[in-house]
Amino acid sequence: MEIFKDLFSGFSEVEILKTIAQAGLVVKGVMIVLILFSVVSWGIIFYKFFAIMSARGQSRKFLDAFWTNPKLATLYEKARRYKKSPIAQVFRAGYQEFNRLLIGARAGKAKVDAAGNPSVRDVGSISTELLGAESIERVLRRSIMEEVTRLESHLTFLATTGSTCPFIGLFGTVWGIMNAFRGIGAKSSASIGVVASGISEALIATAFGLFAAIPAVVAYNYYLSKIKVLTTEMDNFSFEFLNIVERHIKRMK
């Protein structure tokens, strides 16, 4: 215990920087790799935080508009405002398919506007012989998968950082301890002055690995839980939208 007490006594930020500067080439390489992992993962953490918060906020606003607006055509136009809402994008995909089928049942082919979107028409008198909820359901499922993929983008890097960086730091730790033992063998002495440099390198490499891994793991689990909630909300919304479509079709028959 006295050895570790002497080792860490006066171990300030300056001493840490001095130890890093005096570290061997391999340990420096390990630290650079860990710093790069940490910088990129922190960038992803901040980016995904704002992206998921925007998705949640706009989804809540869209759902409020959905339940207070009975006209799907009007809601379709309003959904353009909520580009970051995954639920709004699912609705737009489902409504476009619904509208395409309605127009196809009437005219034999869909007419599109200048932007390439199906035109919104009064569907009250359109025959529904060719309509079915199966194609709309497939479109909704595909749209949900696309939105989940978009929400989960870059999370793989956080998972990789959390699982890999501790082992990269461990490699630096082992290398530092090996240097410490080489120092003992070269000088035939086990004094603190001989082993301090190698042990310091080893401990700093471990600290760098944990510093990179811990925030990445915490952020990964947090964002995954938020995405799971959004996925459930998209599933529930798709069921509600299908119910509305089926009721609309039955009224038209």
- Sketch the domain layout of the chain as residue ranges: 2-252
Confidence at residue 31, expressed as pLDDT on a 0 to 100 scale: 84
pLDDT value at residue 98: 86
- In order along the chain (253 residues), what is the average pLDDT of each group of 10 residues? 47 58 72 92 96 94 86 85 92 88 59 49 41 78 94 94 92 78 61 62 83 95 95 93 80 62
The residues pairing with 112 across neighbouring beta strands, listed in sequence order, are 118
pLDDT given at position 148: 94
What is the pLDDT at residue 128? 43
**Which positions ≥6 away from 240 have C-beta within 8 Å?**
none
Q: Are 151 and 102 in contact (CB under 8 A)?
A: no
Answer whether 212's CB lies under 8 Å from 176's CB. Answer: no
Asked if 199 contacts 7 with a C-beta cutoff of 8 angstroms, the reply is yes
For position 188, what pLDDT does the model report?
A: 57
Q: How far apart are CA 126 and CA 202, in angstroms?
A: 75
Q: How far apart are CA 28 and CA 34, in angstroms?
A: 10
- Position 129 scores a pLDDT of 41
How many CB atoms neighbour CB 180 within 10 A?
Answer: 20
**Phi-psi sector, 44: left (phi>0), alpha (psi -120 to 50), beta:** alpha
Residue 253 burial by Cβ neighbours in a 10 Å radius (0-12, 13-18, 19+): exposed
Asked whether 41 and 175 are in contact (CB, 8 A), the reply is no
CB distance 103 to 118 below 8 Å: yes
Stated pTM of the model: 0.75
